Amino acid sequence: MNRLRGIKVFVVEDESLVAMQLEDMLLDFGCDLVGLAMRVGRAMEMLAKVAEVDIAILDVNIGGDKVYPVADALRARAIPIIFATGYGRAGVEPEWQSYDILQKPYTSIEVGEKIAALALPAA
């Protein structure tokens, strides 16, 4: 997955073990983790300070809150979004169902393929 080297990824995930696994996957791909937030409010603060994001991976349910305010901010900046949820597409509100979904539990192959599909120019 060297082709993912340098892609700047922003992550919102409230489960520590899942966040650490995802971080390891991204680092193995050579991606730059430009932000990792475990709460919606913190994610909004971080996004306001991060200048460049190529793609975002967002858990849908964050500590009892929905991640959609973060998704709105990303969409306003035209940043591609991947939603991560254990409920599949049905776990995402209708407005967001056209976005890419990572079904939890996911593999590094699935993560890499989703990032490549959204962040790399078509060959």
Q: How far is CA 40 from its chain centroid?
A: 13
Domain-embedded: residue 15: yes
Domain-embedded: residue 122: no
Domain-embedded: residue 27: yes
For the chain, the domain total comes to: 1
Tally of CB atoms within 10 A around 22:
23
Q: Which range marks the domain in which residue 49 is found? A: 2-116
pLDDT tens series, the chain, 123 aa: 578 999 999 999 999 999 999 999 999 999 999 999 999 999 999 999 998 999 999 999 999 999 999 999 999 999 999 999 999 999 999 999 999 999 999 999 999 999 999 988 764
Q: Counting beta carbons within 10 angstroms of the beta carbon of residue 21, is it exposed (0 to 12), middle (13 to 18) or buried (19 or more)?
A: middle
Domain-embedded: residue 98: yes
pTM: 0.96
The CATH number of residue 28's host domain is 3.40.50.2300
Domain-embedded: residue 75: yes
User: What gap in Å lies between CA 18 and CA 93, rounded to an integer?
Assistant: 22
